[in-house]
Amino acid sequence: MHINPERSTRPDYDLLVRQVVSVLEGERDLTANAAQFSALVYDTLADLNWAGFYLTVPSKKGEGQDLLVGPFQGKPACARIPFGRGVCGTTAVERKTIVVPDVHAFPGHIACDSASNAEIVLPVIKDGKLVGVFDIDSPVLNRFTEEDRVGLEAMVQAFVEATDC
């Protein structure tokens, strides 16, 4: 069961991993679990203005892949992002978490929301396949720490283990 603590810039990630497992228990559907996961993150981490998934899909141009917006919390977002473009597209290509203290200094940053100043994007990988990325934006510069990276990676791993992707 999800217990709604006060939003925090230093959350108890061990507790949040247990909450991911609890909230997703008994359901394996990607869309349902991605929606629940996005809501949990958005509801428990302070100073966020967007949290959600971009899922891997074939490119509209006929070759390669794009990221298509999936379940999220926050304002409307960019719908499609090519692999290699912006923080999300770079994360998709590199398959590693990227923490950006100031998005305005990131080459090729895509400004879906002009209020966003910091970002963390985590790859979602299952059985060696990139399912997509989990993107979190904040209006606060330098919002995301190493502790956030490690904790959010553990949460994403719990999501992957609980979900048929």
DSSP state, 5?
P
pLDDT in the model for residue 1: 43
Contact 9, 143 (CB under 8 A): yes
Residues 135-148 have pLDDT tens digits of: 999 999 999 999 99
pTM value is 0.94
CA separation, residue 36 to residues 10, 17, 144 (Å): 21, 13, 22
Residue 6: Cβ within 10 Å count = 7
The chain-wide mean pLDDT, for the chain, equals 94
pLDDT-above-70 percentage for the chain: 96
Write out the two tokens for 64: 């390669």
> What does the block give as tokens for 10?
């230093």
Tokens of 131: 């399912």
